[in-house]
Structure 1
C-alpha cells in the first residue's frame, strides 16, 4: 500500500425540477467535503475517478427497486409493464429505461420528452416508498478504498451513474459514503450514459477542479460502463461485483478487470500504471 500511495502522490499533478446544474444536490460541495483541499495546493492537473453506483459501490436489493420502477412506469404510461421489458437494465440510465419502455408502448419521441420530468418525479416518490435504507449495502472494500483515495491530493473522486440524481444521493447517504464524492453526473442529466462524461467534466471545472479528460478513469461493473469509457477514449476499470463476469467485461473491452474493490493495493497500482501510460502518450 505504501508504494502505491507514494507513487500516486508523486504524480504531476438536469432537469430543472430534479436537480441543480452543478450536480451536487444531496452531495457535499467541494468546500464542505471532508477531504477538500485549497485549490492552489492541488497542482496543474488531477486524476478524476468516476465510479458507477449500483453493482460497483453498492448492492441494492433488486425486488423493491423493480417494484418502484414498475409502479412509476405504469403510472406515467397508464398501463402495466411486463417484467420481461425490465430484464436488461444494467448500465442504462433511468431516463433511458423510461424512453425504451415508452417506445415499446408506441410513444413518440416528442411524447417521451414531454413526460420525462413527470416520470422523474413519479419514480423518485415510488423509490422513497419501496426502497429502504436496510436495502442498501456497501460492497466489500469500497469504504476502505475511498478512504485511501481521498488522501491523495492529485485524485478527485466522483460518480457517474444512471440513477436519477436524488436517488443516487439518497443511496450514497444511506451507505454513509456520500462525503467522499465531489462531483457527479446522473441519469437525470441525459438519457445516454456516454453523454454524462462531458457533463461531469464541465461540473468539475465549475468547481475549480483542475481535471483533464485524458486523466479520467471510469470504474463500473457492466459492458455499458465500458462502452461509455470507449466513447471518450478513456480507460475503464471493470469489477465483477455486478451481474457480469470477467469474460463478459473483457469481451466488452475493459482496460482492466478486477474481481472486487477489496484489494486497495491492486487498485492503486492500476492507477499508477494508467498514469505511466498517459504520461508516455502525452
Structure 2
C-alpha cells in the first residue's frame, strides 16, 4: 500500500528556492549571513518567516499549528532551531549562525528528516543514527524488478542503465534483495526516472539546486530525479555537478524503507555537496537495512 502523501511537502520546493536565493545565489551572500547571524528569541528580522517555513517543511516543528509565519523570533523558532542543530550535530544554541544557514543552503534529498505530525504518513522512528518510516514498512518479497521511465530527457537509458544497476547492487551486496530490470512494457515494483517541476506526485521539483531527488517508502516504488539539475554520469564530476549514482544509492535506501541518517558518512545522510562522489554504503546504512529486514 502506498504511503499517504502530505500537503506539507508541496510547498517545500518554493520555500527552499527562497532559502537558496537568500543565502546562496545572492551576490550579498556574506552580508545576508551577517544580518541573520546572532538572531535570537525576541528579535525581529526581515526574512525569518522563510526560516520557519524551511524548518517546518523538514519536520522540526511539532505540528503545523505551532508555526507563526511572521518575522518575529519566538520561542517555537528557538526550539525548532535547537532540534535542527542537534540533529546535524551543530552547536546547539537556538540562534541563527553561519554554520546553520550554510547547512540549510546545501542541496539535499526532498524527504523530510523528522515527522511529528500524527496525521502524516511519513513519520520516522529514530534508531541510532539511521531511521525507519513510521510503522517500519517493508517489502514482502526479496526479488524486485525495476524499469526506467522519465517524463523529461536528461540521460539516455543506455547511459543510465549500468549506473542504476550498480546502485541497486550496493544494497543487494549487504541484504537478501535481488534486483532485475523489467521489460519496458511489463509491470515493475520500482520505477526510476527524471522529471521537472510538477510531475503528478504532489512533490514538485524546484529547478537547479535545493531538492535533487525523492523516493517513497515500501511498497510504493517511485524514485524521481529533478531533471533540471546538472547531472554527471562519470567519475570526473565537476564542482557544479551532481553524481547520479551517488544520489541513486541514497534514494534506493528510501525505496527499501530507510529514512535519513544523522551520520555524515552514511549514504542516507540527506545533504549532498555538488562535485562529490559518494557511492558506497557506510556501516550505519548496513546496520539500518539489516535491522529493518533481519531484526539486528
* TM superposition score normalised by structure 2: 0.25
Structure with larger RCO (C-alpha < 8 A, sep 6+): 1
- 1 or 2, which has the higher helix percentage? 1
